Amino acid sequence: MMVQAFASLKSYLDSQVLGQPALTEGILLALLANGHLLVEGPPGLAKTRAVNALAQGVEAEFHRIQFTPDLLPADLTGTDIYRPETGAFAFQSGPLFHNLILADEINRAPAKVQSALLEAMAEKQVTVGRNTYKLPELFLVMATQNPLEQEGTYPLPEAQLDRFLLHLKVDYPDSATELEILRLTRAEARHETPVKAAPISQADIFAARQQVLKLHLAESLEHYMVQLVMATRQPAAYSAKLASYIGYGASPRATIALDRCSRARAWLAGRDFVTPEDIQAVFHNVLRHRLILTYAAEAEGISTDQVLTDILELVAVP
């Protein structure tokens, strides 16, 4: 029954975010794997709409934060406010205390703001002054980046990139989908919105996460995931050309993310076991932001996705 509820949620997201099935699946994988999502794509591709639709489909509070160069950490975390009537300071919580956070154009904020978000993502808590405050148990950050504009931006450091479970790339829809989008927005303007199923409770989300963790994963597939990640750290063992392209490989977080996301994908498909195809399907999105390529790769125009495809071809499938 729980899988059916998530299947209905996926159908609802797809009806609201047309032509972006990888984005809607990625959001559900992050929700089930208890991780965060980095989405890269041009503006106007329904990234905000996707998280807002998720908030409609689950029992959760949603907040959008527009990141700008003048943003301060307190604008995210909240701050201590002096109360004259009591003569004491009281903590006023910030937008991070919602369940679903859209960090729009995250790379436009300076390092101090990014570090405040990093603590929230990594520890599910924020520190203000001498006090630390816990964030909600259900806490998911979807951050967006615009690949077209790089002027006036602050590139995310590798440590923060590694905190994201998935890095998705979205692109413009085709002409048929564009026509559907046009008709959908027209129907919404006439208040002809589709009927959505009852929201999934947070208790059901936490129960689904436990079911995902209990899925059967063969020992051979555990070794397969480890070898895929080790190929990014010891590429010379597989190919001299691969070694010339990879400067730094992925951390153990990549292996953990591969495990969580492949399990979540199998669970969404209604299976109680993980297949090699599940691992391969999430491999690019899990590893895309965790590799640092060499200058030689950049000079040859080699992308991270091309390197990851080569790794999948070189590492033997059990």
- Three-state secondary structure call for residue 238: coil
- Two tokens, residue 124: 């599910």
pLDDT value of residue 147:
73
pLDDT value of residue 259:
97
pLDDT value of residue 51:
87
Task: Say how far apart CA 286 and CA 279 lie, in whole Å.
Answer: 10
pLDDT value of residue 313:
94
pLDDT value of residue 80:
83
Residue 189 has pLDDT above 90, yes or no: no
Helices and strands of the chain, counted as H and E runs: 14, 11
Q: Which of 87-91, 92-96, 145-149, 277-281 has the highest mean pLDDT?
A: 277-281
pLDDT value of residue 249:
92
Element (DSSP H or E) covering residue 266: helix 252-268
Q: What is the pLDDT averaged over residues 13-31?
A: 91
> For the domain 207-314, what is the CATH superfamily, name and number?
Magnesium chelatase subunit I, C-Terminal domain (1.10.8.80)
**Phi-psi category of residue 11: left, alpha or beta, with phi > 0 → left and psi -120 to 50 → alpha:** alpha
- Two tokens, residue 74: 């307190």
40: β partners: 145, 169
Radius of gyration of the chain measured on its C-alpha atoms: 21
Of residues 314, 276, 27, 18, the one with CA closest to residue 164: 27
pLDDT confidence band for 149 (50 / 70 / 90)? low
pLDDT confidence band for 194 (50 / 70 / 90)? low
Residue 314 has pLDDT above 90, yes or no: yes
Task: Say how far apart CA 173 and CA 17 lie, in whole Å.
Answer: 11
Task: Say how far apart CA 269 and CA 275 lie, in whole Å.
Answer: 11
pTM score: 0.91
By the 8 A CB rule, do 101 and 141 touch?
yes
- Two tokens, residue 253: 């977080």
pLDDT value of residue 148:
63
Task: Say how far apart CA 59 and CA 55 lie, in whole Å.
Answer: 7
Domain residue ranges of the chain, discontinuous segments joined by +: 2-189, 207-314
- Percent of the chain at pLDDT above 90? 54
Q: What is the pLDDT averaged over residues 237-259?
A: 93
* Lookup result for tokens 């077209």: 148
How would DSSP label each residue in 146-193?
A: -SS--TT--PPPHHHHTT-SEEEE-----HHHHHHHHHHHHHHHTT-P
Task: Say how far apart CA 180 and CA 10 lie, in whole Å.
Answer: 18
- Looking at every residue in the chain, the average pLDDT score rounds to 89
Record: fold of 2-189: Rossmann fold (3.40.50)
DSSP state of 96: G
